[in-house]
Structure formats: structure tokens, C-alpha cells
Amino acid sequence: MDTTTALARFGLDREVLDATLGSLFERRIDDADVYIEHVESEGLVIDEGLVKKGSRSIHQGFGVRAVVGDKTGYAHADVIDRASLLEAARAARTIATESSTGGTRALGSAHGTRDLYPIRPEGDPLTQDLGAKLALLEAIDRRARAYDPRITQVQASFASERRVVLVATADGRVVVDVRPLARVSVSCIAVDPAKGQRQSAGAGGGGRWEFPVFFEQGAGGVAHWEYWTDEAARRAVLLLDAVDAPAGSMDVVLGPGWPGILLHEAVGHGLEGDFNRKATSAFAGMIGKQVASPLVTVIDDGTIATRRGSLNVDDEGTPTQRNVLIENGILKGYLQDRMNARLMGVAATGSGRRESYAHMPLPRMTNTFMLSGQDAPEDIIKSVRRGIYAVAFGGGQVDITSGKFTFSGAEAYLIEDGKVTAPVRGATFIGNGPEVLKRVVAVGHDLSLDEGVGTCGKEGQSVPVGVGLPTVRVNDITIGGVNVAKRGGA
């Protein structure tokens, strides 16, 4: 979508943007932008084979930002017109500074972007026939129940949105991005009356996809939706026969893909620019120093086509890029939005993200993962005498300052004498992110990205993200057993 078309959608023209930014620069400021968005979203949920929820919404609004030093003035509204924009500009300017010198700036030409997620009109999830989406959810319900008679309850949902954003920046750029996003989620409950067991599990995925992609072949040689359905059912049934997780310090093998959420939480947040500028991160002041095993290289890449965490440009209009954060154990850099980059004297990394027009941008991750190593995954498991093989994680939390984290295991197994044996439940993984990176002793050659389910929270804002990991062995992680997990697990 070009700038003229986007402005027309919002009932604006270029002169209005010029006047708004010009108003901001009537006083001396260091940076400014105007962010406008229009979002259409839809959600469908079936539970026990019945439609329990159907929703469709449209909302739009804008935010105007003025920045002086590390002080930000921000004003937003859901009415997009000239008067509202100029009033918001005056409010943001006043909040940011009481200085009085400056001048107007005219906008430059529109800034062209790549297209990482092209969507044809006939493939747009939002415009698909409602019956086709309901048929998909009904097929998920039938397949999950057929997986095992112990599956007693199934919930399936389909969510999609189309977000049109326009960003006008102080340096004269105007950027438009149309962002599709779609996801399938499956939740199953399995019951074994004989054992008095009732367990639940979930799976799902998606991305910046066209609707037909959900029916294309994915993992396991079946359609994506079939694989996620089978995984949700399998995990629920698996937990019926799981044993209580042991407690103590153990060697842990992290499986490929979704276990990268541990990397995201325990390490990734600590590499965001704001925490390091304020010296509240465990990684502050460590650029150029060894912070991890030489086997560890960590990347944040917002340019991977159709991925859930990818963006053509970030929410400040900066093109996303592939950022090397840690290379062979050496800290190379942080994730930067414009403000923190300017204050730290470095370049922005395309990492300024916001939940909506009502939120200020923050430095955030996109798709964060560890690169593959040289080890065969089966050899990594064989090398462990006694430990845990973690295939999937549930909830977790991290303290940025100390680097300490806690995660619950959604699917995990005992490793005994180099073999994966019994599934365990109630495992809680406790450690320190920077220290865990130093105890990585083997990295597999099987890097895999997650299926497209990640949502990251920071300062009350949620944004879609991706994670990834190859098979990795980490020595000496504290495992809280089932009793610890019930008391305080995340």
C-alpha cells in the first residue's frame, strides 16, 4: 500500500503530517514521529464442538511523540483528523520540553520497504469465508478426539488480523506497512479415571500467512493444522503416564524449536538497549567481553519471511535487520530503538516496537534464536548420564537485573544412562541466564524455529515474537520437582 492510499484510508493528506511534525519542532527537540494505525481483527473459538465465541473488530488511532534527551512526551487519540493530530503534537511537545527554539521540518518522500509477507486478496485470512474457518476448527475437534479415547475435551481457535501502520519520522521518512497475522490454537484435556488423572496440553502455530498455508504440509508430513492437533492430543495423553519430576541440580538437554523461549526470556530481554543504557541488565557494560560459551551465537532477525516476529519496518519506521547479539560467546551488541541508540551513541537496530498507537515504542526482540553447532542431537543425549530432556516450556519469568529465571516444563523426559526414558510432569527450571550461557557444552546442528505462537510482554505491552534453538546441552540447571512447581512455578 502506498503512502497516498494509506493517508486516504485515514482521511488525511501529506500536508497534515507536515503540519503535525512542524508543530513539534516549534521547540527544540531531539526526535519526533507520528504513528497511525488501522487494525481489523477476527476471532473464532469452538469448545466441545460448539461455537463458543465469534468476534470481529475494527479500531484505529494515532500517537504523536516528542523526545528530548531521555524524556518523552506522548499523546494519542482514536479520532484521526487534523485538529486531533495538532492538539496531540502540542501536548507531546509540552510534556517533553519547556525549551523555546527550533523550527519546522518538511517531510521527505515516502521510504520504500521490502515485503516479507505478501498477501493476495484471495489468500487473506480476514476475507476467507467464515464457513471455511469453522470447517477447519471442526476438523481439528474431530481429529483430536480420534487421537485417543482419553481425550475428553477439545478447544480450537482461529485468530487473524490485518494491521496497517503509517510512520512519519523527524528525518523526513514516511513508511507504510501492511501486517497480516494469523494463528491456530488447540487445547486438549485427557482423563484417565483409573489413575485419577486429568491433564491438559496445547499446541498451535501460524505467522504472517495466507489462509491456505495452514493446509500445507508441515512437520511430520501432514498439514500444519493436523500436526498441531496431534501434538496437543499427544502431550495431554503423555502426561497421564508421566512421573513426578525429580529435584536437584541436573544436566539439561533443550530440544530444538520452542525451547528457545528460555533463550528469549533468560537472555534476550537482558540484551535490550533500555536496560543496558540504564545499567539495570546483567549484560550492561559487557560489549566485547566473553558472556557465554564459545559454542553460543545468538541472533535476533526481524527479516525472516512470513515469520510471526518479522516486520518490514519496526514501529519507528526503521527497517528491521539481522542483529548478531552474541558471537562465539562474545557480546557484540544490544537491541536498539531510536532513543536508546541515540543516547548510547550507536545505530538503531530496527527494534523499536509498540503494542498499538496508544503505546510508546520500546526496544524489543523480533525472532531470537541460537545458531546451529556441530553436534549430532542423538550424541548430545547419549552424553548425559542423568538429566532432563526438555522438549517444550510453559510459562516463565526473568529478573532482568540479576538474570535469574524460572520456567515450567510443558513436555520433558528423564535421561538415564544416555537414553530418553519416562516423561515427567511438574518440572520447574531455575537458573541464571548469563550463567546458563556459560555452561553450554554441546550445540546440535538442528536449529529449528518455533511454530509461530510467541507473544512477548514488557512494561504492559504485548507483541508477537519468534524463538528458536538447536538441541543444546547445558550443565547444572536447578530442577524444582513437582512439589516446588505446585508452590511457586511460573
Model confidence at 489, pLDDT cuts 50, 70, 90, reads very low
Gyration radius (Cα) of the chain, Å: 24
Model confidence at 172, pLDDT cuts 50, 70, 90, reads confident
DSSP string, 71-111: EEEEEEES--SHHHHHHHHHHHHHHH------------PBP
| pLDDT value, residue 42 | 97
Cα distance between residue 271 and residue 419, in whole Å: 35
Percent of the chain with pLDDT over 70: 95
Q: In the predicted model, is pLDDT for residue 266 greater than 90?
A: no
Cα distance between residue 17 and residue 217, in whole Å: 45
DSSP string, 353-372: E-SSTTS--EE--SEEEEPP
| pLDDT value, residue 437 | 93
Query: Average pLDDT of 39-47?
Result: 97
Q: What is the pLDDT of residues 426-474, one digit of tens each?
A: 999 999 988 999 999 999 999 999 999 999 999 999 999 999 999 999 9
Query: Which phi-psi region, left, alpha or beta, contains residue 350 (left: φ > 0; alpha: ψ -120 to 50)?
Result: left
13: Cβ contacts below 8 Å, ≥ 6 apart:
7
Query: Average pLDDT of 373-386?
Result: 98
Of 457, 80, 79, which is closest to residue 264 (Cα–Cα)? 457
The conformation of residue 211, written as its DSSP 8-state character, comes to G
**Model confidence pTM above 0.85:** yes
Q: In the predicted model, is pLDDT for residue 102 greater than 70?
A: no
Task: Note the maximum CA span of the chain.
Answer: 78
**Strand 248-254 relative to strand 428-432: parallel, antiparallel, unpaired?**
unpaired
| pLDDT value, residue 482 | 57
- Give whole-number Cα distances, 488 to 338, 397, 399, 406, 443, in Å: 38, 12, 15, 9, 30
Domain ranges in the chain are 3-240, 248-488
Query: Average pLDDT of 31-38?
Result: 96
List the grid coordinates of 367.
525472532
Give, for 19, the enclosing helix (H) or strand (E). Answer: helix 14-24
Q: Is residue 406 classed as helix, strand or coil in its secondary structure?
A: strand
| pLDDT value, residue 112 | 54
Query: Average pLDDT of 20-28?
Result: 89
Instruction: Look up cell 502455530; give the residue.
Output: 205
What is the identity of the amino acid at 348? A
CA 342 and chain centroid, separation = 25
Q: In the predicted model, is pLDDT for residue 103 greater than 50?
A: no
Q: What is the pLDDT of residues 243-263, one digit of tens each?
A: 999 999 999 999 999 999 989
The mean of the pLDDT values for the chain is: 92
Between 299 and 99, name the one with better pLDDT: 299
Query: Average pLDDT of 366-383?
Result: 98
| pLDDT value, residue 98 | 53
384: Cβ contacts below 8 Å, ≥ 6 apart:
251, 253, 415, 418, 473
Q: What is the pLDDT of residues 327-366, one digit of tens each?
A: 999 999 999 999 999 999 999 999 999 999 999 999 999 9
> What CATH fold (topology level) applies to the domain 3-240?
PmbA/TldD fold (3.30.2290)
The alpha carbon dihedral of 316, 451, 408, 156 has a sign of positive
| pLDDT value, residue 490 | 28
Name the phi and psi angles at 473, rounded to 5: -105, 130
Q: Is residue 152 classed as helix, strand or coil in its secondary structure?
A: strand
Q: In the predicted model, is pLDDT for residue 326 greater than 80?
A: yes
Q: What is the pLDDT of residues 393-427, one digit of tens each?
A: 987 788 888 888 898 999 999 999 999 999 999 99
The CA angle 242-245-248, to the nearest 5 degrees, is 165
| pLDDT value, residue 100 | 37
Cα distance between residue 94 and residue 92, in whole Å: 5
